[in-house]
């Protein structure tokens, strides 16, 4: 099967500190893959390698077969891999439409004509409306981003990433700071939006194991900089020792 994004024997060291050691993973089409692990396991380092922010000390990071080590998130987004950050990256003074349009304009390389483009470019307007509708924000287009609920701000943040037309999107704690009652609704919206928008795969970094269990096809667990497991959810959650080593407690989850 085609591999979209992969690492081959990747290690990352900072002097004597070993953040990752011999990590090999592969993300294929039509997958939601979750990366889990305790604090200090190497999740952030892995994500920064996958999104071009870091260069590995050894090994390869490949997207669509090309080496992307250290190329940076802007060039990587142009190739089709986009990261949505845990901290909401919206500008509160902009409206919902303007926030999404900023991503659309950037994707079309019209960076310095944002607001003129909004008024005059019907194609941009149509794309903004399309993305907003996918994320349930069509009725909020004229509303300042600052006035949105926390859940809506999360959706807007991810909608801006989807507007870049990625093949793969990396979601970094997409429901952090959101009430428990909203989390599953947001995840269902994100997964459904990905399918409608043509996103081929989603890589999810998530601490909420209920969400991991409910929406993942595979779970990659990191522990002390190494891959401790790479399993489908039913196998992952059926191993109490694995759960305890990765999460730090024994628990049961519905897959």
pLDDT over 60 at 84, yes or no: yes
d(CA 226, CA 20): 6
pTM: 0.86
Contact 83, 89 (CB under 8 A): no
- Name the strand (E) or helix (H) holding 241: helix 240-247
207-231 pLDDT, tens digit each: 899 999 999 999 999 999 999 999 9
- Domain definitions of the chain by residue range: 5-247
| Architecture (CATH level 2) of domain 5-247 | 3-Layer(aba) Sandwich (3.40)
126-146 pLDDT, tens digit each: 889 999 998 889 999 999 988
Torsions phi, psi of 224, nearest 5?
Answer: 55, 40
């Amino acid at each position: 099967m085609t591999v979209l994004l992969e690492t081959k024997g990747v290690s990352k060291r900072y002097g004597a500190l070993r953040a990752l050691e011999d990590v090999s993973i592969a993300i294929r089409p039509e997958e939601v893959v979750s990366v889990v692990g305790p604090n200090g396991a190497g999740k952030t380092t892995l994500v920064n390698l996958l999104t071009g922010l870091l260069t590995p000390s050894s090994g390869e990071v490949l997207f669509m077969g090309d080496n992307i080590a250290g190329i940076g998130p802007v060039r990587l987004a142009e190739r089709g891999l986009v990261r949505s950050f845990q901290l909401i990256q919206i500008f509160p003074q902009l409206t919902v439409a303007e926030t999404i349009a900023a991503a659309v304009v950037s994707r079309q390389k019209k960076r310095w004509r944002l607001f003129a483009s909004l008024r005059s470019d019907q194609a941009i307007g149509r794309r903004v409306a399309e993305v907003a509708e996918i994320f349930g924000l069509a009725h909020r287009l004229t509303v300042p981003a600052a006035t949105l609920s926390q859940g809506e701000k999360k959706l807007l943040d991810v909608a801006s990433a989807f507007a870049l037309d990625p093949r793969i999107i990396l979601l970094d704690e997409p429901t952090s700071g959101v009430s428990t009652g909203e989390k599953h609704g947001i995840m269902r919206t994100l997964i459904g939006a990905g399918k409608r928008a043509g996103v081929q795969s989603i890589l999810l970094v998530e601490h909420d194991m209920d969400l991991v269990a409910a929406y993942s096809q595979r779970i990659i667990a990191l522990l002390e900089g190494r891959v401790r497991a790479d399993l489908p959810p039913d196998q992952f959650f059926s191993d109490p020792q694995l759960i305890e080593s990765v999460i730090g407690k024994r628990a049961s989850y519905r897959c």
